A = this chain, B = another copy of it.
Amino acid sequence: MISYIQSIAAQASVDKALEAAAAAQESADFAQFTVNNLWILIAAALVFIMHLGFSTLEAGFVRKKNVVNILFKNAMIICIGLLTYCLCGFNLMYPGDFNGFLGFAGVGLYPGPDDMTAAYADYTYWSDFIFQAMFAATGATIVSGAVAERIKLMPFLIFSTIFVALSYPITGSWKWGGGWLDELGFYDFAGSTLVHSVGGWAALAGIILLGPRSGKYTAKGIRPITGHSMPLAAIGVFLLWFGWFGFNGGSVLSADPELVSLVFTTTSLAAAAGGVGAFFCSYFMTKSHDLSMVLNGFLGGLVGITASADSVSITSSIIIGLIAGVIIPISVTAFDKAKLDDPVGATSVHLVCGIWGTLAVGIFGNFDEGTGEIMDQLIGIVSIGVFTFVVAFILFYILKVTMGLRVSEDEEERGLDMGEHDMRAYS
């Protein structure tokens, strides 16, 4: 009888112990959720600062008379990007169940469950939204530099709105929304193709339809038009690298220690190798130490590693970055030879190195069969490239025949700051 009572008592204690262990497990899980979620939010803030990076980089690389204009465009793009992503972009890019090509989960943000922490395994619904929204705006920002110093303000803003609201999320859904490219095995960790090439293709469409800045390609050859402030450009590039810790690091979608630390390391080494690659290649080509090439070499390395930062070795990350850096001076020269005038080198950085980085997944990526194979990478590059280029070309074309894309020769000569804004950047 005594032992019977004792075992009843013991059973009650055991239940208490089980409950206590379950409560501890729940607390531990919530702590893990909290740190994962916090990292996504900090990463979103870091991606936000990339918009300042783009603003100052582009401002530095244009002439003094077009600085207000480029800052104005960058400021408006972040507004447009966030608001349209809230309105429709997020639900186009992550439509839940869809046919793999086009889906839409509805206008505006999902009100969310009562318990927001139940939305995803590692972060809340709002964290997911704000991180992805900061990404979305970068696509259009890439375009603004390439078409600088000659595009009219309003057509550019209309283009950006439609591009970031519809085109970017649709191609994004093909992979990150779980669409047909994802099913195929196409791999693009943080967006060498989905973000950077997409911006680059749209930039290319704009460049073609706009034509070069007046005086750039003359009968006597290519006349370099240098930017007005190298410190601004340098500030921009360093801020972009800083923000890239969030861009790539946050794309782990948790604070997983192994993956995030690997991504920080591969990202940094690729950027450094990109600088070295551009240093040697540009010196070899021109016998001078060109700061703008080294700065774009950093960015080339960063774009190049973006598709594979979580899935290559350290050595591979250095090789990927080095090649991206070597590509930069060659590509910039090639675009100039083709009379495609890109004041900031955005097409070389984002389009060409974006393609390189996406291919590099197939060469260096540590994957099981069926993921990131070179042929699937090519299919992803081409399909997204064709879709984006065509959409951007049509959009720009419609704007060209309706509103006109290009400022008048006189305004281009005087500068867009006075023409579009009646302001000067410096006084």
Contact = CB atoms under 8 A, between A and B. Distances in A.
A242 B238 CA distance: 15
Interface in A373-427: 420-427
A226 B423 contact: yes
Contacts of A30: 28, 32
Interface in A117-136: 117, 123-127, 129-130, 133-134
B257 A33 contact: yes
Interface-central residue, A14, A115, A257, by most chain B CB under 10 Å: A257
Q: How many copies are assembled?
A: 3
- What's the interface size class on A, roughly? 35 or more
A144 to B, nearest CB: 13
A21 to B, nearest CB: 4
A251 to B, nearest CB: 14
A67 B20 contact: no
A75 B41 contact: no
Secondary structure call for the A interface: helix
A264 B130 contact: yes
A105 interface: no
Contacts of A83: 269, 272-273, 276, 318
Contacts of A86: 269, 314, 318
Given A41-B264, A83-B276, A127-B264, 9 more contacts: A3-B3, A7-B7, A10-B14, A25-B28, A27-B28, A42-B42, A45-B46, A108-B315, A288-B421
14 contacts: A24-B24, A34-B36, A52-B234, A52-B242, A55-B234, A56-B235, A67-B230, A78-B275, A80-B276, A81-B272, A108-B315, A117-B258, A124-B262, A230-B424
